[in-house]
Amino acid sequence: MSESTEKLPVLETVEPIGKRVLIRKDEDKKQTKSGIHLPDKIEIPTLTGRVVAVSLEVTNDPNYPIEKYDRVLFHPKDAIPVDFEGDNRLFVVPIENIVAVFRKAK
């Protein structure tokens, strides 16, 4: 039996530490619902995204109803970009910068 010298690629994951979550930012909108085209460099103070990972500290704290896959509105001021993907849409965000969670009406 011969051993293969090929190594399988190691998959990396990002696990936030402390009171932080990992968010995949939604695509930037290029056009409003009414049809107005937005410039490429528009600065929007608040962004939406999907929670990819939640730190253990946030998971164990009942004051933060944030779960994986939640769609959230967050302030990007202290968001740390994660150079993990080519399009750089992942951010580690302090829990205090999440200003809203989108929920379906029951």
Residue 26 pLDDT > 80, yes or no?
yes
pTM over 0.85, yes/no: no
CA distance 4 to 70: 42
The whole-number average pLDDT for the span 80-101 is 85
pLDDT of residue 91: 93
CA atoms within 13 A on the CB side of 106: 1
Could you confirm whether domain 20-27+41-102 is CATH 2.30.33? yes
Residue 9 pLDDT > 80, yes or no?
no
* Contact status, residue 83 vs residue 45, Cβ threshold 8 Å: no
Tens-digit pLDDT profile for residues 42-76:
555 568 999 999 999 999 999 999 999 999 999 98
Domain residue limits, the chain: 20-27+41-102
